Structure 1
Amino acid sequence: MDRIFANRMEAGRALGQLLRAYAKREDVIVLALPRGGVPVAFEVAAALKAPLDLLMVRKLGVPWQEELAMGALASGGALYVDRRLMREADVSEPEFERVLAEARLELARRETLYRAEHPAADVTARIAIVVDDGMATGATLHAAVRALRSRAPAKIVVALPVAPPDGRARLGDAIDEYVCAMTPRMFFSVGQFYRDFDETTDDDVRTLLASAFKPQRP
């Protein structure tokens, strides 16, 4: 029987157990995909005793079904578009361009709001563990890891609480390692595997980041 996580924090703790091999290593950094990935990544970073940062990315949802990603946009301009899904959903180019323009504005807003005085961490030659609360189409992660790869990490590990059985195949050679707590055969949405899947708010993100960025006592 497939597990149901109580909430994103519990999912993060479960994921942290699966990533124990990366604990207490100075070359590891945990990167959260806002907003839903932040509570999960916060717990992963705590379990591994690793720094936490953001990997800014914005899903491009089908206009009449926003949870269905037809692509994603990441900071730095990295763009992934699922043209097959666009055709199947009958999304026109003008409709796509409108969604893309809105995503650019929202991504810039979040970058300013979440980062404040904390610039993006240097990931050069580090093991980057990319965390979200789950994967459906894979579009968001595709854009995120494409942007991340340009920053020259030593290794990209994607870590997820739940994803479809073909989740690893969907990401192809864009990543180096894939860790997933659950790959249920009957997968319809990420939210079906959480009892509490309420939307993560801007305030939630800022609170968790303020705690993660706080200098630790030796």
Structure 2
Amino acid sequence: MFKDRTAVGHLLAAKLGVYKTVPGVVLAVPCGGVPVAYYVAKELGLPLDLVLVKKIGHPNNKEYAIGAASLTDHVVVPQPDVPASYIEQELLRIRKRLAEMSRKFRGDAAAINLAGKTVIVIDDGAATGQTLLRTLSLIKKSQPAKVVVALPVASRPAMQILEKEADEVVVCLIPSDFYGVGAYYENFTEVSDDEVSYYLDKLNRLQRAG
């Protein structure tokens, strides 16, 4: 069991030490992935940005990801019972939220260009891996040199599907019986928008000073 997201960030950074000298970028899945990714980016000396992608859930089960959307692109696995009008409505709703997040967390700064770089995607854990799977499909459209998924904890089914989409998957813990991501943390309190801004600003100041 991990103490909290910051503690496991150090563990994950140690497993990713080979990428310290590689041109790359750490992408955090907000909000829970940000404290983990902060320490990885800090210790590897890499820039940190956010994965501004949200899943498109099935209309009958919002937790089941049938696709994902970014501000500029989307992917959808065709579903016979999902009309195009639903996808259009979801794209509008999701992009409105993503635009708000971009303004709040990035301000006027542009997203980091991923082309030709090693991209390390970090979240605080993966139960099914379906949302991350759709997210990776979008990230790969930016033509990175390599995509690495790094997670504190993941279920075996999540590992299996992520390994098919990512070039490498690095995980600290793969329980034989998975009880949900939060079950493996002593402290799994929700990460606020203010905390996300804090970690992004802190890393920017450290890297500018260094």
TM interval, shorter chain, is: 0.7 to 0.9
Query: Using the alignment, how far apart are the partners of 1:204 and 1:51 within structure 2?
Result: 18
SS in 1 for 2:93: helix
After the TM superposition, which parts of structure 1 deviate over 4 Å for at least 4 consecutive aligned residues? Answer: 60-66, 80-83, 91-101
The answer to whether the aligner puts 1:11 opposite 2:8 as a matched pair is: yes
Unaligned runs of 5+ in 2: none
1:171 to 162, 181, 193: 162
Note the 1:46-195 alignment, pairs <5 A: 46-60=42-56, 68-71=63-66, 72-80=68-76, 101-195=92-186
Q: Quote the offset at 1:124 in angstroms.
A: 1.5
Give the aligned length.
207
1:217 counterpart residue number: 209
Equivalent-residue separation in structure 2 for 1:201 and 1:119 (angstroms): 22
User: Are 1:206 and 2:197 an aligned pair?
Assistant: yes
Aligned alpha-carbon RMSD (Å): 2.5
Deviates more, 1:167-176 or 1:199-208: 167-176
What amino acid maps onto 1:76 in structure 2?
T
Give the percent of matched residue pairs that are identical in Structure 1 and Structure 2: 34
Q: Distance in 2 between matches of 1:175 and 1:41?
A: 18
SS in 1 for 2:208: coil
Deviations 1:95-131 (A, max 9, x none): 7776554323222211221110221111221111111
2:162–2:169 Cα contact (<8 Å) kept: no
Residues 3-51 of structure 1 deviation map (CA, whole Å, 9 limit, x = unaligned): x11111112111111111112x151211111111111100111121211
Provide the TM-score with structure 2 as the length reference.
0.85
- 2: CA distance, partners of 1:213 / 1:125: 22
Instruction: Tell me, in whole angstroms, the C-alpha distance in 2 between the residues paired with 1:170 and 1:130.
Output: 15
